[in-house]
Amino acid sequence: MRTVRYYVIVYVGLPTVQPQAVTPPLPTLDDYRLAFELAPVGLALSRHRIMVDCNQAMCDIFGASRDQLVGQSFRLLYPSADEFERIGERIAPILNAHGQYSDERIMRRVGGRFAGQTFWCHVSGRALDRADPHAAGIWSFEDLSARRPVTVALTPREREIAALVMKGLTAKQAAKVLGISPRTVEVHRARLMRKVQARSTVELVQRLLTG
């Protein structure tokens, strides 16, 4: 009689090693400083609208050295004292209510070969204390001149109205923001249209966008 043998092969695997979670080291103060310095947008720390620190991108945008900016009022970056005062008054209640603010406005370069040149800039900021919005904050600045050049000379009020027109505000809405009459807004808007040779508000916006 033929004998049949059966073999059972048992595979015993090695014990599974669970990967250990690696906790990354906490960022150091040097890491935070490096992130601030190398940020792709201009950054400035402020106290009562005085620049107490800024990064290299901020210096590059405004054509200035750090020593020329730190310790100076933001007034240095505005085309006129009137705009500095009026914008400061307008943003305070917004910072007070929401803690942050942003807009697009025309600003002025401080030095370099483009010293005194005006340019469109996107500005965003956050108040560290909403109850005292100008006491301390951090602000970012993005140069928009490559795609939106300033090609005509504008008055301070025309610059403000140009910014609001580009946001799509009507004369009545712009008047409320600026604290002036709708008729005054219409007068300045008409002057803007003549300067850029626009025949309508839509065309005005297009000319302001493209130069």
Domain limit, last residue, from 99, 132, 148:
148
The confidence score (pLDDT) of residue 9 equals 56
Same domain, 178 and 134: no
User: Has residue 15 been placed in a domain?
Assistant: no
Residue-range definition of the domain harbouring residue 109: 40-148
| 52 and 142 part of one domain | yes
Looking at the predicted structure, is the pLDDT value of residue 179 above 70? yes
Tell whether 136 and 163 lie within a shared domain.
Answer: no
pLDDT of residue 27: 81
Q: Who's near 171: CB < 8 A, 6+ residues apart? A: 182, 185, 186, 189
Q: Rounded to the nearest 5 degrees, what angle is found at the Cα of 145, between the Cα atoms of 139 and 147? A: 120
**Tally of domains within the chain:** 2
pLDDT, tens digit, 9 for 90 and up, residues 143-168: 999 999 998 999 999 999 999 999 99
Give me the count of residues in the chain.
211
